[in-house]
Amino acid sequence: MTMKDKKEILALNAFALESADLSTFEDNLAELLRRREQIFGSLSVLFYQRPLHIVSARGCSILAADGTRYLDFYNNVPSVGHCHPRVTKAVCDQIQRLNINTRYLYRILNDYAEKLLSLFPPELSNLVLTCTGSESNDLALRIVRYFTKGEGFIVSSNAYHGNTAAVTEVSPASYRQGSLPRYVRTVPPPDPLYYGSDVGKGFAEAVAAEIQDLQQAGIPFAGLLVDTIFSSDGVYVDPPGFLQAAVDVVHEAGGLWIADEVQPGFGRTGTMWGFERHGVVPDLVTLGKAMGNGFPMAGIVTRPEYLRAFSEHFGYFNTFAGNPVAAAAGLAVLEVIEEEGLVENASWLGTKLRSWIQDLSTHYPVIGGVRGAGLYLGIDIVDPKDGRPDVRRATRIINALCEEKQILIGATGSLGHILKIRPPLCLQSPEAELFAEALEDVCRALL
Amino acid sequence: MTMKDKKEILALNAFALESADLSTFEDNLAELLRRREQIFGSLSVLFYQRPLHIVSARGCSILAADGTRYLDFYNNVPSVGHCHPRVTKAVCDQIQRLNINTRYLYRILNDYAEKLLSLFPPELSNLVLTCTGSESNDLALRIVRYFTKGEGFIVSSNAYHGNTAAVTEVSPASYRQGSLPRYVRTVPPPDPLYYGSDVGKGFAEAVAAEIQDLQQAGIPFAGLLVDTIFSSDGVYVDPPGFLQAAVDVVHEAGGLWIADEVQPGFGRTGTMWGFERHGVVPDLVTLGKAMGNGFPMAGIVTRPEYLRAFSEHFGYFNTFAGNPVAAAAGLAVLEVIEEEGLVENASWLGTKLRSWIQDLSTHYPVIGGVRGAGLYLGIDIVDPKDGRPDVRRATRIINALCEEKQILIGATGSLGHILKIRPPLCLQSPEAELFAEALEDVCRALL
């Protein structure tokens, strides 16, 4: 894929503010957009061909300024539901009492951290708190590099792990020009298209080949960094356990495996952590997004010896991380997930939704297939004539669902032709049905 | 200074959990400390020889679990006062209504951003929002490198700019082992000790020499990154305007100047921004800490052309940044600063406090001098016999102020012998007097 292609795909998937004709929007929206461009300039990104002006949200429901109510099938940060009253109450109670940093002791941080760690295998007994998934992955890369004394990392070919300088280097999806540094190697995502029927074996062989190539180039190997559901590659989760062989290869070569759980973590895939699906305990787990249901917080769960090795080299302190308000938010999120049975809900409702879409695909050839686990699904949109990826039709579906059906979804994959379905975990069965019906209507119109 | 020295200084200035004898503390505190070590392991850092267990805070006052009330002369994040009711109300109102990301439009973000930008020179018309000062500096380094096509950065010799991989490379204060990469050069802080009476000229010459050295090494120059009050170097602010000559040198060499306002920004130094003291408009300004009074938020203010150059290379999106709750917090902070006259308060009360400490220094030779602007002061603690930096006495003063006087301060500078005085900006005159008296008592006991 050339950079020109990549830019075209970006333009299709995001609202390109700089080149937009604002006169096609009513005054209010045009004014907001003009102000937005003036303030944020080139780094402004908005969703949909007609961007949404939002005023409030609750559960899976989003209210726009014009009174339209949207069903949210996209946002995985407010994962237990937009503005969940239990989480917002925890934040409000705590922020009025104490908001300080971790160089002081306060009980709620210990309480939260212990509850969080109790959800991990016992060997992952240490926690580092940060503010964002990017900070978590940035620090995880450093910890692995200092522990292994390696430099080379392997990631999937359309990986996205965050936005710092170091993390962008392992995020091919962020590049609009230029190429990855020589110590970063990519392997195709775990898609039978690349690896045939035995994805696990093929993926492990691809990882082994890149390790060998790094070594031949004189670059000591550090580790493998993958999001356990390969979300930006297009959602690849099957067969369960396929990552095991690759992780074995990584360990044999002296490397470590960072499981990026920023997206799959906290119940999204129908298990608490995405790595559970693979039956392998990661060396480091990075967390973010859903962790505070929108309160900015993130972290790393790992083994004490890795932190010890790192701390010989550098001090690490993170001003906002682990503050008592974040701890209160995080604790409330864990309690809500448990008490409302959201992991189970993601599992059974996700399975149901996937089977409905599977059924649709037999009637509507524009749906090339559906993949996923729990409430994270990827739906391939293809040209009905030849079955090839069809980003234009995907874009039409996304915008039609938004404008005609008031349902919000997004796109993923290196070509941008895969619908990304990722509702809050409190989704209910009638809402899932509504989505399936809406998708059918929109696909019918595309026939 | 060797690494062994550096480790000793760290051990004096922070509570070393791993090597502590917990049996000296009462049960409650020992239990909290044991849990803390188990959870956070090697990356745990705590203040004071007897760490504080805190339950609440308000204004400049912090309440410990044992009922002791402390006067906070250290925390610059809750800058308009701990748990300021106006800020917490803004957060609580907004977080119950909408908390989403910037790919949607919501009015409060525009309102906040416009108010913030109105406080900058008009050429700095674009804003990028991030979550932490580290993320801001990380992105600022990238923007400058892509715009200038340079790589080399110059920082002060004990600079601290944050905790990501890229920002640690320009933060010599974070290194416990090893050395900076060859594309990062340091200059001594703007102290007459190094540059004689014309600090501005000397500092500019040092910068020029490093630019030349980078060029001779074949490393294209990118820019200068300095905190405008050189806080981690030991607080160097005088004479006003001394940075001008260095910035001219940077521009002549085709580089850009990043003003790190994470600490000096938002009124701390008695002007809204630290760079105002120098009468130079920066190319990029990085913000953090006080921006949301503890709600995690940060940003970059800069010129549109720099963002445009960067966006040709990379996409940038930050999940939590610019969410409506952050915007509400940030807006309330700006309103409180304005309505409570906190910039003016920092200026006049800081001047008063500085002159009291200046007076003390004539009676107590352990006080080698006092520097600073607004409510950010550095007090040199020296050996009364020979006037040399005395980190042990500084540590005794810090812990005595905490345990005997219930006043919280910290240490700064590469040797850790400089008392760091940085109370919330709502500090009142009687509290400042209390501090001066307490410092006198503690210094008297050291005679």
Chain A residues with beta carbon closer than 8 angstroms to that of B51: 104-105
Predicted confidence (pLDDT) at residue A21 exceeds the cutoff of 80:
no
Query: Can you give the pLDDT at residue B20?
Result: 65
Predicted confidence (pLDDT) at residue B26 exceeds the cutoff of 90:
no
Predicted confidence (pLDDT) at residue A7 exceeds the cutoff of 90:
no
Cα–Cα distance measured from residue B18 to residue B3, given in angstroms and rounded to the nearest whole number: 19
The residue ranking higher by pLDDT, A301 or A16, is A301
Counting one residue from chain A and one from chain B, the pairs whose CB atoms sit within 8 A come to 313
Cα–Cα distance measured from residue A264 to residue A268, given in angstroms and rounded to the nearest whole number: 5
Q: What is the pLDDT of residues B327-340, one digit of tens each?
A: 999 999 999 999 99
- Tokens 């308060």 correspond to what residue? B345
Query: Can you give the pLDDT at residue B8?
Result: 53
Model confidence band, residue A43 (pLDDT cutoffs 50, 70, 90):
confident
Query: Can you give the pLDDT at residue B395?
Result: 94
Cα–Cα distance measured from residue B47 to residue B20, given in angstroms and rounded to the nearest whole number: 13
Among the residue ranges A34-38, A204-208, B242-246, the one predicted with the least confidence is A34-38
Q: Do B133 and A304 touch (CB under 8 A)?
A: no
Q: Which of residues 347-386 of B touch A (CB under 8 A)?
A: none
Predicted confidence (pLDDT) at residue B121 exceeds the cutoff of 50:
yes
Query: Can you give the pLDDT at residue A18?
Result: 54
Q: Which of residues 19-58 of A touch B (CB under 8 A)?
A: 29, 32-33, 35-36, 38-47, 51-57
Chain B residues with beta carbon closer than 8 angstroms to that of A132: 131-132, 135, 318-320
Query: Can you give the pLDDT at residue B23?
Result: 75
Query: Can you give the pLDDT at residue A10?
Result: 52
Model confidence band, residue A5 (pLDDT cutoffs 50, 70, 90):
low
- Tokens 């409000």 correspond to what residue? A92
Q: What is the mean pLDDT of residues A227-241?
A: 96
Among the residue ranges A26-40, A124-138, B95-109, the one predicted with the least confidence is A26-40
Q: Mutate which of B56, B87, B95, B323 to disrupt the A interface (most A C-beta within 10 Å)?
A: B95
Q: What is the pLDDT of residues B50-97, one digit of tens each?
A: 999 999 999 999 999 999 999 999 999 999 999 999 999 999 999 999
Q: Which of residues 137-176 of B touch A (CB under 8 A)?
A: 138-139, 141-142, 163-166, 168, 173-176
Query: Can you give the pLDDT at residue B126?
Result: 98
Query: Can you give the pLDDT at residue A1?
Result: 46
Chain A residues with beta carbon closer than 8 angstroms to that of B175: 313-314
Model confidence band, residue B15 (pLDDT cutoffs 50, 70, 90):
low
- What is the length of chain B? 447
Point out the residue among A127, A164, A312 whose CB comes nearest to the CB of B40.
A127
Cis peptide before B239 (omega within 30 of 0): yes
Q: What is the mean pLDDT of residues B92-113?
A: 97
Q: Do B313 and A62 touch (CB under 8 A)?
A: no
Q: Do B174 and A45 touch (CB under 8 A)?
A: no
Query: Can you give the pLDDT at residue B45?
Result: 85
Query: Can you give the pLDDT at residue B445?
Result: 93
Cα–Cα distance measured from residue A182 to residue A169, given in angstroms and rounded to the nearest whole number: 10
- Please give, rounded to a whole number of angstroms, the shortest distance from the CA of A130 to a CA of chain B: 10
- Residue B128: φ, ψ to 5°: -115, 130
Q: Which of residues 74-133 of A touch B (CB under 8 A)?
A: 75, 77-78, 82-83, 85, 88, 91-92, 95-107, 110, 113-114, 117, 125-128, 131-133
Query: Can you give the pLDDT at residue A412?
Result: 95
- Please give, rounded to a whole number of angstroms, the shortest distance from the CA of A191 to a CA of chain B: 25
Q: What percent of chain A has pLDDT over 70?
A: 96
The residue type of A205 is E
Instruction: Collect all residues with Cβ–Cβ distance below 8 Å to B130 and sequence separation of at least 6.
Output: B136, B139, B297, B298, B299, B300, B318, B321
Query: Can you give the pLDDT at residue A20?
Result: 65
Q: What is the mean pLDDT of residues A318-343?
A: 98
Predicted confidence (pLDDT) at residue B3 exceeds the cutoff of 50:
no
Q: What is the mean pLDDT of residues B133-162?
A: 98
Q: Which of A288, A103, A249, A131 is nearest to B46 (CA)?
A: A103
Cα–Cα distance measured from residue B367 to residue A222, given in angstroms and rounded to the nearest whole number: 49
> Is B155 within 8 Å of B260 (Cβ atoms)?
no
Query: Can you give the pLDDT at residue B5?
Result: 55
State the average pLDDT for chain B: 94
Q: Which of B276, B9, B310, B370 is nearest to B138 (CA)?
A: B310
Query: Can you give the pLDDT at residue A14?
Result: 54
Instruction: Collect all residues with Cβ–Cβ distance below 8 Å to A341 and sequence separation of at least 6.
Output: none
Chain B residues with beta carbon closer than 8 angstroms to that of A312: 176-177
Which CB contacts under 8 angstroms, 24+ apart, belong to B26-32? B28/B53, B28/B65, B29/A105, B29/B53, B32/A105, B32/A107, B32/A110
Q: What is the mean pLDDT of residues B11-17?
A: 52
Chain A residues with beta carbon closer than 8 angstroms to that of B153: none
Point out the residue among B85, B138, B175 whose CB comes nearest to the CB of A314.
B175
Tokens in use for A184?
A: 């970063």
Q: What is the mean pLDDT of residues B112-122?
A: 98
Predicted confidence (pLDDT) at residue A16 exceeds the cutoff of 60:
no
State the average pLDDT for chain A: 95
Query: Can you give the pLDDT at residue B211?
Result: 98
Sign of torsion over alpha carbons B261, B263, B266, B267: negative
Map out the domains of chain B with their CATH numbers: 52-80+342-445 (3.90.1150.10), 85-339 (3.40.640.10)
Query: Can you give the pLDDT at residue B1?
Result: 46
3-state secondary structure labels for all residues of chain B: CCHHHHHHHHHHHEECHHHCCHHHCCHHHHHHHHHHHHHHHHHCCEECCCCCEEEEEEECEEEECCCCEEEECCCCCCCCCECCHHHHHHHHHHHCCCCCCCCCECHHHHHHHHHHHCCCCCCCCEEEEECCHHHHHHHHHHHHHHHHCCCEEEEECCCCCCCCHHHHCCCHHHECCCCCCCCEEEECCCCHHHHCCCHHHHHHHHHHHHHHHHHHCCCCEEEEEEECCCCCCCCCCCCCCCCHHHHHHHHHCCCEEEEECCCCCCCCCCCCCHHHHHCCCCCEEEECHHHHECECCEEEEECHHHHHHHHHHECCCCCCCCCHHHHHHHHHHHHHHHHCCHHHHHHHHHHHHHHHHHHHHHHCCCEEEEEEECCEEEEEEECCCCCCECHHHHHHHHHHHHHHHCEECEEECCCCCEEEECCCCCCCHHHHHHHHHHHHHHHHHCC
Point out the residue among B105, B127, B297 whose CB comes nearest to the CB of A51.
B105
Give yes or no for B3 touching A (CB within 8 A). no
Model confidence band, residue A3 (pLDDT cutoffs 50, 70, 90):
very low
Query: Can you give the pLDDT at residue B351?
Result: 98
> Is B232 within 8 Å of B416 (Cβ atoms)?
no
- Please give, rounded to a whole number of angstroms, the shortest distance from the CA of A333 to a CA of chain B: 15
Q: What is the mean pLDDT of residues A113-124?
A: 98
Q: Do B35 and A312 touch (CB under 8 A)?
A: no
